[in-house]
Amino acid sequence: MPYKAETVSGLKSLDDIEDVISRAIKKVNGKKENDLCKYLPMSVGGYMHHFTLRKMKLKQPSELSALIEKFIIASNKPTIISPKQRAARGSKKRKDQITFTKTQLDRLLNMAKISGDKEMVSVLSPKKSLIACKRELIQSIKAGVADQNLWNTFTEIVQGQFNAEAALEQLFNR
């Protein structure tokens, strides 16, 4: 895309930089300006970002021209620069935490039940929904069995929902 021939702060004109860029694109068998970025190294490591190329084209055309001349046009075989190492993204796995498989958790839960450790049983037991807990409670009552743990689970779930609703109500009434 040719720009009108004007000199930016007394440096090379935009037509001159366009000519250098087009010669470099032909040399690397590229299709567009951004294809040159992979061949231009940066002082901080890696290759030049396409935004930097555009900015240099308008504000520092002589420096960009010198870079292109040195690393692409004057080079017998221009080499592709490897990208800059980026910071790790995503979740970081903690090495000090133990992860259990489903069968291992089931075995631990069974051992906790056998030993009578109610706290471990509650920690290792899968969390039940209110509907599932109601269903189990009704079935146990119909069977004539009063399960205190099931009743405690039901009251904890209901209390938790009540507390959550109260917190939301307080939040919206501020």
* Nearest alpha-carbon partner for 49 in 85, 12, 14, 83: 83
For residues 108 and 121, give the distance between their C-alpha atoms in angstroms, rounded to a whole number: 9
CB 17 within 8 A of CB 65: yes
Where does 6-147 have alpha helices with state H? 14-27, 50-59, 61-68, 102-115, 118-124, 130-142
pLDDT, residue 173, reads 79
For residues 7 and 14, give the distance between their C-alpha atoms in angstroms, rounded to a whole number: 7
Q: Residue 120 pLDDT > 80, yes or no?
A: yes
* 57: number of Cβ within 10 Å: 18
For residues 31 and 28, give the distance between their C-alpha atoms in angstroms, rounded to a whole number: 9
Q: What percent of the chain has pLDDT over 70?
A: 89
pLDDT band at residue 8 under the 50/70/90 scheme: very low
Q: Residue 2 pLDDT > 50, yes or no?
A: no
pLDDT band at residue 4 under the 50/70/90 scheme: very low
Contacts for 52 with CB less than 8 Å, ≥ 6 apart: 42
The average confidence (pLDDT) of the chain is 82
**Amino acid found at 25:** I
Average pLDDT for residues 27-32, to the nearest whole number?
Answer: 89
Q: Residue 166 pLDDT > 50, yes or no?
A: yes
DSSP state of 127: P
For residues 19 and 33, give the distance between their C-alpha atoms in angstroms, rounded to a whole number: 12
pLDDT band at residue 91 under the 50/70/90 scheme: low
Q: How does pLDDT run across 127-139, given as a tens digit for each residue?
A: 788 888 899 889 9
Q: Residue 155 pLDDT > 60, yes or no?
A: yes
* Nearest alpha-carbon partner for 9 in 53, 62, 50: 62
Name the residue with higher pLDDT: 134 or 97: 134
Q: Residue 93 pLDDT > 70, yes or no?
A: no
